[in-house]
Amino acid sequence: MNNIRVVRVARSVHRKHAFESRRWYAKTKFPPVVTPMLPPGTFENKVAFITGGGTGIGRGMAKMLARLGANVAIVSRKQDVLDATAQELSAKTRMKILPVAADVRDPAAIAAAVDKCEQELGLPNIVINNAAGNFISPTEKLSPNAWKTVVDIVLNGTAFVTLEIGKRLIKAEQGANFLAISATYTNLGSGFVVPSCAAKSGVEALTKSLAAEWGRYGMRFNCISPGAVFTKGAFSRLDPEGQFTKTGIEGPIERVGEIAEVANLAAYLVSDYSNWLTGEVIRMDGGHLNHIAGDFNKLVDLDEAKWKMLEAAIRNTSGS
Which active-site residues does the annotation give?
185
Q: How far is CA 222 from CA 50, 204, 249, in A?
A: 14, 8, 26
Instruction: Quote the CA–CA distance of 286 and 263 in Å, as a whole number.
Output: 15
Instruction: Quote the CA–CA distance of 292 and 312 in Å, as a whole number.
Output: 26
- What's the angle, vertex CA 181, arms to CA 155 and CA 259, rounded to 5? 145
Name the β-bridge partners of 178.
Answer: 127, 221
The DSSP bridge pattern shows strands 47-51 and 280-284 to be unpaired
Residue 112 in contact with residue 75, Cβ under 8 Å? no
**Reading across the β-sheet that carries 126-129, which strands appear in turn?**
97-101, 71-76, 47-51, 126-129, 176-181, 219-226, 280-284
Which of 185, 292, 293 has the alpha carbon at shortest distance from 249?
Answer: 292
Residue 105 in contact with residue 152, Cβ under 8 Å? yes
